Structure 1
Amino acid sequence: MSLWLTRIIPDQRSREARRDGTNAVDLHHRLMALFPDHVTTTAARQDLGVLFRTEATADSGHQILLQSSVQPDLTRLPSGYGHGTTKSLAPLLTAMRPGLAVRYRIAANPIRKPGHTTRELYNLSPVVPLRGAAADDWWTRQAGTAGLQLTALRSEPLDAARGTRRSDQHRIKHDRVLFEGTARITDPVLLRTRLTAGIGKGKAYGCGLLSLAPHRDDQ
C-alpha cells in the first residue's frame, strides 16, 4: 500500500490561494488537478485516495494537508500559490501494531439521520449535525470501528466546509468538528483501510482525513 502526505503552505498574497481557503469545492478541484490528467472517472477521488484538511498552525498561519495513494505533482500549483512538501507514509503504516499508542487528529462531519417518523415528530432535517457530547460519542464509535481504542479525546467545532458545485450549482455545507487526542491501535489491518478511505461524510470537501503519529505515554 502506497500512501503520501503533502503539506502545502498557501501564500496569502495569491488571490487563488485566498479563494481556495474560503471555498471547499474550489479547493477540492485545485487538489485534484495535482494528479494525472488521465484519471477522469467519476470516482477519481476514491481511486486516488485523495483526502485533505485545512488547519491553522502556530508557525505558518495556515496549511493544507493532502493525503493520497498517488504522489501529487506540486508543479501543477499556480505560480505564486505557495510551497509544499510530500513524504511517504510507509514508515507509519509499517509501524502499526496492536497496542501501539498514537496521537490522532481528524476534522470530521459527525451527523445522524433520523427516521421519517422522528423527523416529522420533532420537525428535524434529514441530516442532523452533532455537537458536544453527541459528537464525541459519534467519534468514539467511529474510532472503535476503525481499529482504535481512544484513551483521550478533545473536540471543538470548526467552521463548516462550504462551496458551490460547478456541475449543478448545488451549494454544499458540511459541519465540522475537530477531534484530537490519544489512542491505542487494536486492529492495524482495519486501521490502514480506514486511514486510506477516510471517515464519515464530506470526504471530498475537507472532512475525514485521520492523521496519526506515534505517542509515548510520558509525552
Structure 2
Amino acid sequence: MNDHPVLARIHLNPHSRDVQRDLRDATQMHRTVMRMAPDGLGNSPRHLAGLLYRVDETDTASTLLVQAHHLDPAGLPPGYGHAQIKSLAPMFAALRAGLVVRYRIVVSPVKRERLPLEDKGARGRVIPLSGADADQWWNRRAAAAGLELHMLTPTSLTPVRPRDSKAPPMRHSLLLYDGTAAVTDPAALTNALLNGIGRAKPYGAGLLSLAPAGTA
C-alpha cells in the first residue's frame, strides 16, 4: 500500500438511483464506498483500508470524499459519478508547527453517562452532545489532534441510524465543523488525519480535511 493515502473526490450523479439510495441510507453509502477498497482485508476492512469518507452537500450538488491507502473508482456502480483521485503526500509533507489551515470535518460528539459508584463495571449510555457542549468537545479533540482552533462554525446535519440489523440501534447525531486553526503538533495531526476523529466513521464522520488558510 502507499506510504500516504489518496483522496477521491466524486461528483455524484443526482440522477443515479444508487446515489439517491445512498444519500438516504448511510449503511448503504458505507457499502458502496467500500467497493473501492481492495478485497481480502479480513474482519476489519474499513480500518485496514484506512478508509474514511464524507459527503459535502450544497444546494445544487453533492460531493463524496473518500480517503484510503488505495482506491479504485471502477468499483462504484455504473453512472455513480465522476471521480478524481489525488495523492495526499504533499499535504502531509507540508505539515509544520505554526502552519495556519482551514479545516472541515463531520463529527459525532458524545459523552458517556456517569453511573453511581455501586454500578462498578457497568457502562453508562452514550449521550449525543449539542450546542456549547459539542463545541467544547470539538475543541478538546482538535487540541489532542494537534490543532489550536481559531474559529469554528458548526452546522447540524441529519442524524443517521444504522439500518443493518447487526449494528447497535444507536442514532448518530452529526455536526459539520468548518473553521481555521494552527498546527501545534504535526505528529498528532498526522495520526488524526490517517485514522479519523471520533465515532461513526462508517457513517460519514471523522474525515478531517485541511487546506492552507490563504487558499480560496
Report the TM-score when normalising by structure 2: 0.90
Deviation at 1:95, TM superposition (A): 0.3
Aligned ranges 1:86-97 → 2 under 5 Å: 86-97=85-96
Aligned to 1:62: 62
Q: Report Cα offsets for 1:56-106 as digits up to 9, x if no partner.
A: 136x51111111122x11111111112111111111100000000000011
Aligned counterparts of 2:155 and 2:12: Cα–Cα separation in 1: 24
Aligned to 2:157: 158
> Which ranges in structure 2 are unaligned for 5 or more consecutive residues?
none
Amino acid in the other structure paired with 2:62: H
Q: Percent identity?
A: 39
Amino acid in the other structure paired with 1:185: V
Deviation at 1:117, TM superposition (A): 3.0
Amino acid in the other structure paired with 1:146: A
Aligned counterparts of 2:170 and 2:139: Cα–Cα separation in 1: 26
Against the structure 1 CA distance between its residues 26 and 96, is the aligned structure 2 distance closer, same or farther, given a 3 Å change threshold?
same
> Which ranges in structure 1 are unaligned for 5 or more consecutive residues?
none
Q: Report Cα offsets for 1:90-143 as digits up to 9, x if no partner.
A: 11100000000000011100000011239x9xxxx7111111111000000000
Aligned to 1:139: 138
Amino acid in the other structure paired with 2:136: D
Against the structure 1 CA distance between its residues 132 and 169, is the aligned structure 2 distance closer, same or farther, given a 3 Å change threshold?
closer
Aligned to 2:4: 2
Aligned ranges 1:1-219 → 2 under 5 Å: 1-39=3-41, 41-57=42-58, 61-70=61-70, 72-117=71-116, 126-165=125-164, 168=166, 171-216=169-214
SS at structure 2 position matched to 1:174? coil
Aligned counterparts of 1:206 and 1:162: Cα–Cα separation in 2: 12
Aligned counterparts of 1:172 and 1:64: Cα–Cα separation in 2: 24
Structure (1/2) with the larger strand percentage: 1
* Aligned-CA RMSD value: 2.0
Amino acid in the other structure paired with 1:64: L
Q: Report Cα offsets for 1:25-81 as digits up to 9, x if no partner.
A: 111111111122222x121111111001112136x51111111122x1111111111
* Preserved CA contact (<8 Å) 2:38 2:49: no
Deviation at 1:171, TM superposition (A): 4.3
Aligned counterparts of 2:137 and 2:43: Cα–Cα separation in 1: 29
SS at structure 2 position matched to 1:18? helix
Count, aligned residues? 209
Aligned counterparts of 1:15 and 1:173: Cα–Cα separation in 2: 25
